[in-house]
Amino acid sequence: VGSGGGMGTQVVIEAENQVAVFAYFDLILDHMARVRKATTCARIVLESNPANCSAVTDAHLDKIINLMVEGSARYSWYIDVLLSLARGLPDADSKSALKIMRKMLGPANGFLLVLYSGTAGRERRARELAAQQLDSSKLVGETGMVAFHHALVQLFAELSSGLNNEVEMLVQSIIPLHEVCAHICDAFCPYAIRASFFVLLVESYTVTALKVQTLVQSPAIWQVLAIFNSELRSILESIANHGDEEDAKQSALKLQPSMKGPSFIEAGLWFCITFLHKHAAIDTLQADHKSCLYFLERVSKRLINIEKARDRAAIDRNAGKRPAINPDRETNNVIERDSRQFNGKGER
């Protein structure tokens, strides 16, 4: 990629290079089964380039799908090519998103739908993750079914973005609401995967033109909110230097974005804001639901205030001033008060 005299020039040159290389897209796809870097090249050619993404044909899609089906090569990097394609499509292009979705559903017996559904499926995922951690080979993690599963969830979420009714209906038929929520609440599931299910919950069930009447009434949704409240509070405790080294490590994982998506906390807050805006009328909620939302609001405000306090402290340090407040002491007081009120349950 060339470099220009400024960011705008560089972007133009990158786009020109993408267009030039796209002329060889068929050849790149043909090499993907043998050369891993060809997959990276295919992804880069499509990234943030609506023109190239719109020019992808049925034959191109079939090549990618066949790589996974005919060669039994269910590798996450093939899904990553489709993810780059989905993210690069023009907003108005819902037909291409539906086309990709149907291609993924085409293979017999749901061969590409690695979803770890039900309690047994989630337990199997936990066992596979444990086995990967015991194996010193990094390749196991990159080629494993859990990595493919994670990429698949990200793809479905991206294809559902906006008001894409037909794709949303297909996703809802494949992954019911209670299943999405169960994955988010699964303590044995990595935070990165739980974050992707949060995005799926937003795109397929919350921001939708379809009428999802059961969203507010669903016990699974309120279980998600209660769990998320608990996760937020544990971060506050970590910020206030409560807990041990393992608690601090877990808090860092919650706040860490993946290579292809937001952090668990960012995705969860995105869902909460969207859910409250579109679905939750406060006068129709039960008392325990109101309590849950009240605590969520308090904790979210505390996190925002802590960030503001840290920003002010950083500015003061750069200016050689002594910080005017002690955010840790302030945080401690709030945590102690909220702990007495909620006692670790996320709701009264």
**What is the residue extent of each domain of the chain?**
12-117+139-174, 176-320
Instruction: Say what percent of the chain tops pLDDT 90.
Output: 45
Residue 170, CA atoms < 13 Å, CB-side half-sphere: 19
Residue 107, CA atoms < 13 Å, CB-side half-sphere: 18
- Phi then psi for residue 175, to 5 deg, are -125, 95
Q: Could you tell me if 221 and 205 are in contact, meaning their C-beta atoms sit under 8 angstroms apart?
A: no
Q: Give the confidence band of 325 by pLDDT, cuts at 50, 70, 90.
A: very low
Average pLDDT over residues 164-191: 94
Q: How many CB atoms lie within 10 A of CB 110?
A: 12
| pLDDT tens-place string over residues 128-152 | 998 887 654 444 556 789 999 999 9
The residue type at 265:
I
Residue 212 predicted with pLDDT over 70:
no
Whole-number pLDDT of residue 345: 46
- CA 186, CA 140: separation in Å to the nearest integer? 23
The residue type at 335:
I
**Which has more confidence, 266 or 10?**
266
**Which has more confidence, 290 or 29?**
29
Q: Give the confidence band of 211 by pLDDT, cuts at 50, 70, 90.
A: low
pLDDT averaged over every residue in the chain: 81
| pLDDT tens-place string over residues 77-97 | 999 999 999 999 987 788 999
| pLDDT tens-place string over residues 237-289 | 776 665 567 667 777 777 777 777 888 988 998 888 888 777 666 556 667 66
Q: Which two tokens stand for residue 41?
A: 């090249």
Rounded to 10°, the helix 245-255/264-278 angle is: 60
| pLDDT tens-place string over residues 49-78 | 999 999 999 999 999 999 999 877 899 999
